[in-house]
């Protein structure tokens, strides 16, 4: 069966409240301010923003609380009842537990959206109502520093999916295991809140690494995904980010193994029996056992998929 072609219908706009979930932990005040302003600047105005303080220092906590007080009908400030740092998964789950929107979008506190992001994604939901998730491409944003050399480093990954596609479950999950697609950044994703039950939100055991892929796996196993090669967001690259820190340690290697073991249990528990998906998972678990070979193989495989035509 041919993959439906995705087009942006500018005459139809899906209505509905969008909940924007933004956890923060000692984010620089400038970054947090720019992230919040990028929500306020949206051309689609029916949104609420939930700021989740994950144990930040008093100065940044007070800054975020003051922003919420300045717009109390749309911006909400939450802290963990337990106090302290609870991690990205618990923080996003706290936001989800308070979300009132029909749709949920995620924005980390050091990234920014382009003004038409929510409007264009809501138009796509109106055109493709069966889609549980919509995402596009993301600018890996180095030029925020203003340095000419960093401007040349800005880049967008190879999506690996046809420029406009609606993909049936569980193909996206299989493709991600095969390295055929770029895993979307959280700042690009919007989803229908009713696609997943509270039992299928983020997993507390994942904190900062693979927490996003856990959510994607649950959704991709059960719902169609709409992918558009359109850039709605800028993913700030800086040495303090979780991704940058993990790349300088063995954490990514161990987290990958942990994710694959979790995914095996999840698919077994939910009786997902797609043979192609299981072959891909078994093969990826074999590769992941070797830190050096596995990393090298995945890089070569990614390069190979870039040469081949995108998935249609």
Concatenated DSSP letters of 60-108: HHHHHHHHHHHSTTTEEEEE-TT-S---HHHHHHHHHHH---SEEEE--
Contact between 311 and 181 (Cβ < 8 Å): yes
Whether 201 is covered by a domain: the verdict is yes
Encoded tokens for 194: 């009713």
| Residue of 44, 99, 98, 48 whose CA lies nearest to 73 | 48
Give the HSE-up count for residue 116: Cα atoms under 13 Å, Cβ half-sphere: 9
Supply the pLDDT for residue 161. 82
* Residue 301 within a domain: yes
Hey, what's the torsion of the CAs at 142, 143, 149, 152, to 10 degrees? 80
- Rounded CA separation 77/214 (Å): 25
Given a contact cutoff of 8 angstroms between Cβ atoms, the answer to whether 208 and 87 are in contact is yes
- Which has the closest alpha carbon to 188: 229, 244, 240? 229
Residue 213: predicted pLDDT:
95
Exposed / middle / buried, residue 247 (Cβ in 10 Å: 0-12, 13-18, 19+): exposed
For residue 227, which of 103, 128, 308 has the smallest C-alpha distance?
128
Phi, psi dihedrals of residue 310, rounded to the nearest 5°:
-65, 160
Who contacts 93 (Cβ-Cβ below 8 Å, separation ≥6)? 201, 202, 204
Determine, yes or no, domain membership for 6.
no
Considering the domain boundaries, does residue 141 fall inside one?
yes
Q: Which helix or strand (DSSP H or E) is residue 190 part of?
A: strand 190-192
**Is position 8 within any domain?**
no
Evaluate whether residue 4 is within a structural domain: no
Tokens of 133: 């998730």
The per-residue pLDDT for 57 is 95
Q: What is the pLDDT of residue 260?
A: 96
Q: What is the DSSP letter of 195?
A: G
Q: Which structural domain range is residue 173 located in?
A: 18-307
Residue 142: which CATH number? 3.90.550.10
- Please state the separation of Cα 201 from the chain's center in Å: 13
**Residue 255: which H helix or E strand, with range?**
helix 251-269
Phi, psi dihedral angles at 138 (to 5 degrees): -135, 140
- 50 three-state secondary structure: strand
Cα 139 to Cα 171: distance, rounded to the nearest angstrom: 25
pLDDT at 298: 61
Structure token pair of residue 276: 């192609």
pLDDT in tens, the chain (312 residues): 344 567 777 778 888 999 999 999 999 999 999 999 999 999 999 999 999 999 999 999 999 999 999 999 999 999 999 988 999 999 999 999 999 999 999 999 999 999 999 999 999 999 999 999 999 999 999 999 999 889 999 999 988 887 667 899 999 999 999 989 999 999 999 999 999 888 889 999 998 789 999 999 999 999 999 999 999 999 999 776 555 444 445 677 788 899 999 999 999 999 999 999 999 999 999 888 766 665 665 666 666 555 655 554
Spatial distance between the Cα atoms of 234 and 155, rounded to a whole number of angstroms: 10
User: In this structure, is residue 312 part of a structural domain?
Assistant: no
Structural domains in the chain (count):
1
Domain assignment of residue 108, yes or no: yes
Return the H-helix or E-strand segment holding 312.
none
**Cα–Cα distance, 95 to 23 (Å, whole number):** 8
Give me the pLDDT at residue 254, please. 84
């Amino acid at each position: 069966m041919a993959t439906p072609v995705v087009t942006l219908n500018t005459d139809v706009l899906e209505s509905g409240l969008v909940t924007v979930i933004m956890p923060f932990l000692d984010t620089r005040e400038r970054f947090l301010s720019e992230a919040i302003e990028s929500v306020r600047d949206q051309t689609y105005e029916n949104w609420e923003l939930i700021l989740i303080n994950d144990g930040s220092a008093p100065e940044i906590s007070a800054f975020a609380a003051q922003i919420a007080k300045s717009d109390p009908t749309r911006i909400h400030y939450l802290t963990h009842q337990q106090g302290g740092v609870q991690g990205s998964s618990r923080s996003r789950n706290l936001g989800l537990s308070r979300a009132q929107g029909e749709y949920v979008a995620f924005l980390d506190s050091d990234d920014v959206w382009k003004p038409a992001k929510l409007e264009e994604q809501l138009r796509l939901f109106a055109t493709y109502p069966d889609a549980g998730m919509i995402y596009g491409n993301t600018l890996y944003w180095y030029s925020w520093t203003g340095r000419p050399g960093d401007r040349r480093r800005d880049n967008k990954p190879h999506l690996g999916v046809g420029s406009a596609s609606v993909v049936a479950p569980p193909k996206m999950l299989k493709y991600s295991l095969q390295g055929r697609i770029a895993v979307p950044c959280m700042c690009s994703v919007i989803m229908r809140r009713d696609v997943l039950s509270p039992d299928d939100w983020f997993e507390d055991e994942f904190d900062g690494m693979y927490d996003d892929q856990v959510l994607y796996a649950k959704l991709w196993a059960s719902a169609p995904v709409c992918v558009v090669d359109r850039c709605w967001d800028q993913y700030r690259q800086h040495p303090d980010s979780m991704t940058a820190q993990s790349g300088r340690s063995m954490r990514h290697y161990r987290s990958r193994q942990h994710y694959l073991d979790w995914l095996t249990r999840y698919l077994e528990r939910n009786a997902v029996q797609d043979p192609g998906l299981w072959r891909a998972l078994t093969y990826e678990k074999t590769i992941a056992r070797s830190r050096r070979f596995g990393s090298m193989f995945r890089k070569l495989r990614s390069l190979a998929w870039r040469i081949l035509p995108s998935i249609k």
